[in-house]
Amino acid sequence: METLLTDIRHGCRLLLRNPAFTIVVILALALGIGANTAVFSVMNAVLFKPLPYSNPDHIVSVAGRFTGIGIPDDRNAISPPEFLDLRRFPTAFSDVSAMQATSYNIRVGDIPERISGAVVSASFFRVFGTDAYLGRTFAAEEEQQGRDSVAVLGYTLWQRVFQSDRNVIGRSMEISGRS
């Protein structure tokens, strides 16, 4: 401990003898610490912020791995039968949901528009602990083939395309050529 105190005293004497060097060292440390703090603050706000859902630490993404078949990214979505197995035998998850992001051509009146969206299972909103602002989300029987298609609009799309019309519920719209 005595050696440490001696080293600190010696270092302080050297810094006091050369004030220009001392100022450069202090500025370099201040800039380094300031830049590090700024980068961490941005990263913390953007990347490490918890998801805006209830219990975000309980939400996981499950993907399949297809190796050796020439697919550049070997991390892909699981197949529908695998999803049904996860749903049928819930050992690791309290609930499961499937999602496939895609884009659609929609037409409301005479105005066509290309939007981003997703095909989701009926449990999607329940898994994320969210509900519809207006109307309802999907019912389990609507997942079956041959049923009438139902769409849940995002808030921004509802505002932009439907001008926040609360009477939009139950209206028909064309999505990728289907009404």
Q: Which two tokens stand for residue 105?
A: 């051509």
Which amino acid does the sequence have at 47? L
φ/ψ of 81, rounded to 5, equals -60, -35
Q: Which two tokens stand for residue 83?
A: 């999803």
CB 79 within 8 A of CB 64: yes
pLDDT tens digits, one per residue of 24-76: 989 999 999 999 999 999 888 888 777 777 777 777 777 776 665 555 555 56
β-sheet with 111-120: strand ranges across: 111-120, 99-108, 174-175
- Note the maximum CA span of the chain: 86
- CA–CA dist 109, 122 (Å, integer): 28
- 176: alpha, beta or left, given left = phi > 0 and alpha = psi -120 to 50? left
Grouping H, G, I as helix, E, B as strand and the rest as coil, residue 156 is: helix
CB 116 within 8 A of CB 103: yes
Which residue's entry shows tokens 């409301």? 108
pLDDT tens digits, one per residue of 81-113: 887 888 887 677 778 888 878 888 888 777 788
pLDDT tens digits, one per residue of 109-150: 777 888 888 888 888 888 888 888 888 888 887 777 767 777
Q: What is the 3-state secondary structure (H, E, C) of 112-133?
A: EEEEEEEEECCCHHHHCCCCCC
CB atoms within 10 A of CB 75: 10
Where are the chain's structural domains?
2-46, 56-175
